[in-house]
């Protein structure tokens, strides 16, 4: 299939009926596209396959936010830093579990892995947002802005990781296909993986800088 035709098909469809998922980004020209590939939208499928009540915000949101108001400032900021540490561990585990699936050639288990990881990140991100909201309520604007920066960096971290995983899945599939022309695709994927890894390294440095600034705020 030609690049322009494949992109037109992808642009005019969604992987599901979920309004949160817009059409995909335009892929790199020259890249082989498989419109029927299952793994391109694993994260979306995992989200939309969940029961509707599991995708809604918890009813206890107000109570959760209220519990933040009972914590001393130092404990609030420590909680946010602990959440970020757990997000880092969860991301490392996500990478490791994908590597294990590739080793065992069990790619059909990837959507469940995405769902499991997404659930963990959701809880941690809600907690950080609650801390940010409480800091704003207390007029602690500098640490609140730092947490906002942290959330933005973590969102970018997840986006780049999703792209990295998709490239790993594509490379796995292409490396087992002897079709002519796949050598060029593998080269493109290898370059894309290199770029994603570099971007993740930059984001992780940025996250560490924000955490260092938060710790400085705690010491003041």
pLDDT surpassing 90 at residue 9: no
Domains detected in the chain: 46-219 (1.20.120)
Q: What is the pTM of this model?
A: 0.70
pLDDT tens for each residue of 78-106? 999 999 999 999 999 999 999 999 999 99
Extract the tokens encoding 120: 């963990």
pLDDT tier at 66, thresholds 50, 70, 90: confident
pLDDT tens for each residue of 182-199? 777 888 899 999 999 999
Residue 102 neighbours by CB under 8 Å, 6+ apart: 168, 169, 172
């Amino acid at each position: 299939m030609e690049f322009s035709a494949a992109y037109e098909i992808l642009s005019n469809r969604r992987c599901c009926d979920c309004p949160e998922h817009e059409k995909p980004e335009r892929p790199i020209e020259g890249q082989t596209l498989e419109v029927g590939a299952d793994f391109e939208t694993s994260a979306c499928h995992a989200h939309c396959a969940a029961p509707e009540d599991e995708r809604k915000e918890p009813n206890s949101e107000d109570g959760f936010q209220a519990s933040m108001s009972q914590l001393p400032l130092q404990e609030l900021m420590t909680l946010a830093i602990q959440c970020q540490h757990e997000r880092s561990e969860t991301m490392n585990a996500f990478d490791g579990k994908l590597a294990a699936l590739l080793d065992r050639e069990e790619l059909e288990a990837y959507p469940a892995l995405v769902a499991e990881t997404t659930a963990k990140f959701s809880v941690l991100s809600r907690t950080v947002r609650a801390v940010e909201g409480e800091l704003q309520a207390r007029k602690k604007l500098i640490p609140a802005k730092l947490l906002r920066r942290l959330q933005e960096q973590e969102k970018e971290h997840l986006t780049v990781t999703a792209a990295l995983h998709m490239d790993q899945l594509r490379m796995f599939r292409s490396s087992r296909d002897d079709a002519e022309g796949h050598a060029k695709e593998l080269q493109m994927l290898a370059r894309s993986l290199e770029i994603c890894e570099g971007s993740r390294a930059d984001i992780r440095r940025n996250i560490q800088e924000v955490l260092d600034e938060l710790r400085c705020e705690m010491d003041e």
